[in-house]
Structure 1
Amino acid sequence: MAISSRLSVAIHILALLEVNKGTRMTSEFIASSVNTNAVVVRRIMGMLNKAGLVTTNPGVAGASLTRPISQITLLDVYRAVEGEGCDHLFSIHEKPNPKCLVGRNIQGALESKYSQAQSAMENELQKITMDQVVMDILKDAQAAPSN
C-alpha cells in the first residue's frame, strides 16, 4: 500500500544529471547513487525521456537534461513517471459490501475528497522547480560536517 517511489527516484536522477552536468554517467553509476538496480534507473530514464525531460543515449554516452533545470517542475516529473492525468495517488478499495451502509456509500464519499487532495498536491508540485531541489541539496552538502 506504499506510495510509489518513482517520483523520488526520478527527482534524484534529474538532480544528479544537473550536479554532474558534462560528466558521462552510466545507468550503473546513477543506480549506485540512488542505491537501486540499474534496470530501475533505465526504466525511469525511459519515462523521463518519453516526457521530454531528458535525452538518453545508449551505452556510456549517458543522458542529459533537455532544458534548464529551472524550467522543470516537480509536477512535470510526477506526470512523467506516474502518467499524464495521474489521479491515482489515493485509491479506493474495490467491491465493498453493498449491503452495508458504509460499504454502499464509501466510494462516492471519498472520490471528491481524494480528487481535492490530488489537486492540492499537484498545485504544490507545480510551484517547486528542480533548481530549488538542487539548491537545497548543495546547501545541505555545504552545511554537513565533513568526515
Structure 2
Amino acid sequence: MSANSKLTIATHALAWMALNERMGGKFTTSEQIGKSVATNPVVIRRLMSEMAKSGLIETQRGPGAGWRLARAPEDITLWDINEALGAEAAFALHRNEPSESCPVARGIRPALTPVYARVDDAIRRELAGTHLADVLRDTLTVSGA
C-alpha cells in the first residue's frame, strides 16, 4: 500500500500561497502551484476546490483569477487542512465479520480498536499543533531561503 500524499500536496500548495502573499502577490494560480509541486494544475484545482469549500482559501474568478488564503497561516493547522481533505482514520478494521469459531477472530476487533483510537488521537494532536506558518518557516529554513 502506498501512503496518501494529498495532505502533503495541499500543505505545499497553501505554504506556497502564504509565501506568495508575503511577497506581495494577491492571488495564486494552479499553474504557479503546479510548477512548485511538480504536478498537473488540474490536481491542484481539485485540491483547491476542497480547500475553498472548507473556508481555508478564497477564490477569485475572471481577470487575475486565483486563490488566496482566507485566514493567516498562523491560524491554519495541518488538522484543518486534513479535515478539508476528508480526514480518515489511519487504520481500519477488516470489513468482514471475523469467524466466531476462532479465538483470535473473536478478540481482534476489541484488542485493536483502542490502539487505533490512540493512534488517531496522536495524529490529530500532532496535526492540530502544527500551523501552516510553522511549516513555511521550517521549509524556508531547510531550503536556506
TM class by shorter chain equals: 0.7 to 0.9
CA-to-aligned-CA distance 1:24-62 (integer Å, 9 cap, x gap): 432122122112222221111011111111012346511
- CA distance in 2 between partners of 1:132 and 1:48 (Å): 19
Contact 1:74 1:125 in 2 (8 A): yes
The residue number in structure 1 matching 2:80 is 76
The residue number in structure 2 matching 1:54 is 57
Q: 1:140 deviation in Å?
A: 1.5
Give RMSD over aligned pairs: 1.9
The residue number in structure 1 matching 2:90 is 89
TM-score under structure 2 length normalisation: 0.86
- Larger deviation, residues 131-140 vs 22-31: 22-31
Given the alignment of the two structures, is residue 25 of structure 1 paired with residue 28 of structure 2, yes or no? yes
- CA distance in 2 between partners of 1:39 and 1:103 (Å): 44
Contact 1:55 1:64 in 2 (8 A): yes
1:64 to 68, 75, 79: 68
Q: In the superposition, relative to structure 1, how do residues 58 and 104 fare at CA in structure 2: closer, same or farther (>3 Å)?
A: farther
Residue identity opposite 2:92 in structure 1: S
Contact 1:3 1:89 in 2 (8 A): no
TM-score under structure 1 length normalisation: 0.85
The residue number in structure 2 matching 1:42 is 45
Given the alignment of the two structures, is residue 13 of structure 1 paired with residue 13 of structure 2, yes or no? yes
CA-to-aligned-CA distance 1:59-93 (integer Å, 9 cap, x gap): 6511000111111111111111124xx4x221122
The residue number in structure 2 matching 1:129 is 131
Q: Which runs of 5+ in 1 are unaligned?
A: none
- CA distance in 2 between partners of 1:61 and 1:91 (Å): 40
Residue identity opposite 2:109 in structure 1: Q
User: How many percent of aligned residue pairs carry the same amino acid?
Assistant: 37
Q: In the superposition, relative to structure 1, how do residues 69 and 15 fare at CA in structure 2: closer, same or farther (>3 Å)?
A: same
CA-to-aligned-CA distance 1:1-45 (integer Å, 9 cap, x gap): 333211111100110001111154321221221122222211110
- CA distance in 1 between partners of 2:79 and 2:44 (Å): 19
- CA distance in 1 between partners of 2:71 and 2:39 (Å): 26
